[in-house]
Amino acid sequence: MIKKVLVANRGEIAVRVMRSCRELGIESVAVYSEVDRKSMHVRYADDAVCIGPAPSSESYLRKDKIIEAAKLTGADAIHPGYGFLSENADFARMCEKEGIIFIGPSPYAIDTMGDKITARKTMIAAGVPVVPGTTEPIHDIKTAIDVIMKIGLPVMIKASAGGGGKGMRLVKNEEDIISAISGAKSEAKAAFGDDAVYIEKYISSPHHIEFQILGDKHGNIVHLFERECSVQRRHQKVVEETPSPIMTQEVRMKMGADAVAAARAVNYYGAGTIEFIVDDNLNYYFLEMNTRLQVEHPITERVVGVDLVKQQINVANGLPLAFKQEDLKQTGHAIEMRIYAEDPDNNFMPSPGVIKHIREPLGLGVRHDGYVYKGYEIPMYYDPMISKLIVWAETRDEAIARMKRALFAYKITGIKTSIPYLHRILEVPDFIKGRYNTHFIEENQQYLKKQNTSTERSIDMAAIAAFVDYITKLESLQTEPNTKQQLGNNWKDFGRKRSALRF
Ligand code: MV4
């Protein structure tokens, strides 16, 4: 049985994994780069090893150093989190060769699903619906044009080694076919060292709906229902919710069965996600499988009542799943919003820096998965996501109200964050109605650009008032050192009175 887990990751997900380890009585080991010495995941862990300089290529992606750290600390398993080495079959193989348990799927499943052309073929053989298109790499333009004329324009050219939107081209006109294919091929070659591309019919206004699945090493596979992830900006998810507002019970059961069939086709064990694109008539098509724990896993945990990290560890230990499909159900509604250290009003420019003050939201139905603290400096080397706010309530409307309340209570100073932008999303009529697809962000720019509402103005005014108060205090402390106690937080009264007047 696993006694000590090395977490080959950083930030919020490293802390998230260690929390479940602690509940299971398992020790945790952090690995960290030189700029992450003071990161929360290092403080939380029972043991920690520095694995190199800041760039991930010299630290979090160094398979050899991570395995060396596991041996040094006596860790018997490695959890890769998401990103970094989480979908690297070679790393999974190296771990097993060194006698370390890789907490994740088999290298075979990672490889098969990592190559999108092989994944499509495997899904067709398993009877899972895929987007109409090719099942072999495109070798010559003539065959490509024949195929495209058969399926009809518009089409998408996708890199077989890609995924998540990398190396993708949309072709609307016949005259653009040749340049799109050669462009996609050279982009794929440069990005992945593999220029294989395939063609799919373009689905014009799709929803992105994914199914969480969980399998054990005894051939049991269940799904834990769907997550609606259509609110995306440049292939980055911004909001996720479950249940999906567009789903029917009938389609949910069919998609769930297909998700399980997809996983079964690669003898999947561990946690994984089947991504589908879904049109307005609820026709759905397999897009790709993510062979890792995902960022948005907490909404599933909350609505289904399962700790996914704990299940990953149990499966890695060889235990059978403790529940069957019929034991699982969805209760209530959960929404996750990702908080980024970015300035939404300056083209989402990353905003690294020192956290001067942080107050995290609390209260009924609120979960906050983060890692930054007062005085912590966010490094510029990694993903700017600093935390995830997850709320749960009986109904979708109540969950939205609860998310607004949680965002209201979330205060961070020292850096810019996406919090104001997230507030705006919750005011968009189509979001409130649950009527949105993957074009939501581009179609609702009028609501999402910098607002001049009384709420946003009073937040600015409160910050100015606090600053004036701070300077005033500093000055009086210099002239009259004993007046500190009398000063109080008089700026707050100022802020309250002014907002009552709705300035
Ligand atoms: C598509 C598509 C339309 N038709 N494939 C983008 C990310 C990658 N996982 C696949 N993506 C898409 N593939 C066909 N045949 C539209 C998208 C797409 C998209 C998908 C999910 C969520 C957001 C998206 C935003 C733009 C395009």
Contact 216, 315 (CB under 8 A): yes
SS3 assignment for 228-262: EEEEEECCEEEEEEECCCCCCHHHHHHHHHHHHHH
Question: Region 292-298: what's the mean pLDDT?
Answer: 98
Class of residue 9 by CB neighbours under 10 A (exposed 0-12, middle 13-18, buried 19+): buried
Task: Give me the mean pLDDT over the 492-496 stretch.
Answer: 55
Task: Give yes or no: 292 in active site.
Answer: yes
- Architecture of the domain made up of 204-331: 2-Layer Sandwich (3.30)
Find tokens 């052309």 and name the residue.
Answer: 117
**The tokens of 466 are what?**
């606090």
Mean predicted confidence (pLDDT) in 245-268: 98
Gap from CA of 295 to ligand 1 centroid (Å):
18
Residue 397 phi, psi dihedral angles, 5° rounding = -60, -45
Closest residue by Cα to atom 6, ligand 1, is 165
Binding site membership of 165 for ligand 1 (Cβ less than 6 Å):
yes
Q: Sorting pLDDT into bands at 50, 70 and 90, what band is 484? A: low
pLDDT of 235 > 90? The answer is yes
By most ligand atoms within 8 Å of CB, the mutation choice from 201, 235, 237, 276 for ligand 1 is 235
pLDDT at position 226: 99
Site to substitute for ligand 1 among 232, 236, 438, most atoms within 8 A of C-beta: 438
Options 1.10.8.60, 3.20.20.10, 3.30.1490.20, 3.40.30.10; CATH for 132-201 is 3.30.1490.20
Residue 482 scores a pLDDT above 80: no
Q: Model confidence over 421-479: pLDDT tens digits? A: 999 999 999 999 999 999 999 999 999 999 887 777 777 787 788 788 888 888 887 77
- The closest-lying atom of ligand 1 relative to the alpha carbon of residue 288 is 9
d(CA 379, CA 41): 14
Q: For ligand 1, say whether the CB of 199 is within 6 Å of any of its atoms.
A: no
Please report the atom of ligand 1 found closest to the CA of residue 230.
22
157 lines ligand 1 (CB under 6 A): no
CATH (residue range 339-451): 3.30.470.20
Domain limits of the chain?
Answer: 4-103, 132-201, 204-331, 339-451, 463-500
pLDDT in tens, 98-138: 999 999 999 999 999 999 999 999 999 999 999 999 999 99
The reply to whether 204-331 shares the fold of 4-103 is no
Compute, in angstroms, the gap from residue 165 CA to the centroid of ligand 1. Answer: 7
Q: What is the C-alpha separation between 347 and 380, in angstroms, rounded?
A: 17
Which one of 3.30.360.10, 3.50.50.60, 3.40.50.20, 3.90.1150.10 gives the CATH number of domain 4-103?
A: 3.40.50.20
**pLDDT per residue as tens digits for the range 305-363:** 999 999 999 999 999 999 999 999 999 999 999 999 999 999 999 999 999 999 999 99
Binned at pLDDT 50, 70 and 90, residue 498 comes out as: very low
Q: pLDDT tens for residues 28-81?
A: 999 999 999 999 999 999 999 999 999 999 999 999 999 999 999 999 999 999
C-beta of 171 in contact with ligand 1 (< 6 A): no
Mean pLDDT across the chain: 94
pLDDT of residue 466: 79
The reply to whether ligand 1 has any atom less than 6 angstroms from the CB of 235 is: yes
Whole-number Å distance, alpha carbon 1 to ligand 1 midpoint, is 41
What's the CA gap between 375 and 11, in Å, rounded? 15
- Distance separating alpha carbons of residues 151 and 82, to the nearest angstrom: 35
Give φ, ψ of 354 to 5 degrees. Answer: -90, 135
